[in-house]
Structure 1
């Protein structure tokens, strides 16, 4: 099934994203409670890093992959909040002067600009560890094996063989010649593995079969690559006022990207092809996977 336009008589992806974001924001607000003690500053920074903006794409994927298997809403919401915590931790650390040295994120000052570098580092650490605190809590699922599976899968996706390793490769890749295979591996690790976990989480919560779980992770890996290609396109030709973060950073840093290797038009074509391939993996779920198909269309056409 190819990437389809969203039918006019169905909820738009923008509304679907907004509705899921509202629910996830409420859960994040509930989980990251303000405090009045000496640690109040780091909690405030954690809340700032998670509650200021963001489309909540990864939580959307958790919620809508879980919906395929009729997972209890509270279980899915807690897993969605946990993955957003981990994602936001990675943004806080990526923005630090020692890494991407960014001043703007989601149209607002980055955490280390709003607070200071030490507080930003601790806020990221706090969000990372809280993600596993949430996933391991009985309220996330009564089955301890499911909770352990969620924690293990997120640790693999977010660790040295996943997101952290991808960020290391990305830092080393500045001013180096990378071929398309190396860039694909880099972006699969840095971005794609957490997107894949976001879909896999629904399958884990729903006791899905091996075939169903594989279908969702395969969909997510194709979606993740399409997402990164579009991200590279936005960095190359986007408007910072629209994207909410500086543009042109990859070229300035001398980084090899999908765009620098493929060119603008071939990159756009490849993103569309990956979107079509992603949706083919959803065929086994029928119309229950429509919200994921809508996400594919959104990722391909996004402007920020």
Structure 2
């Protein structure tokens, strides 16, 4: 018995057509992610993630106790001690891994507090103006008139050696950078039409600042904070190198470099923490440069 071919075709299930909106949303999502896949962003992110994992799991990764004697004194790099041992017989590689627990969190906290203090003062100064603007900017001018490292050394010396005193000193030096940056952004943004319209309909000045001005200032803050993270890591290590930061026997990178410079022939004691610090600084600089290229409209349109 012959069957109608058209009837058979009607009985066969047909695949549901893909909605145009689904295709559009997938394409839009991919287009938003693609700019962030630049080589410098990927490289910086991977290196930073490696150090974050080390910071979290240093106890599992490090082969030796960073504070305990684990071998002969001043032993060069070997299979048992990848970065050798220091003058007390402590494993340098383990101390480098544990050093990330001190340098990296402190640098991030320093940047976050500096951004919060500087952004708050800069936003208030730029939006409200008047005496507040004059006071904040003159105070920022006074702080920025001194070399940042020299002023940080003076503040730390006055408070006494210690990592948290170094943190206070760097925050005191670094907040004017963000105060000036945010003030300039706020002065530009508050003249835009949407801010003028919000003021015209009777919205309070505080609500206008929080809802229509502050969100538009975030991009330069994120880029600047990422780039400044490497500088802050170097400043923390420099203060420790000068004896104003971490105190012995703390496994901090700057303090370890100080130990390694005592004798030129014991080069491995300083090279280990030096390479660690260079890798982190390069990674955050690559990451900051990539974010600036993606987020900064002026740079992206060149």
Name the TM-score, length of structure 1 as normaliser. Answer: 0.31
Greater gyration radius: 2
Name the TM-score, length of structure 2 as normaliser. Answer: 0.31
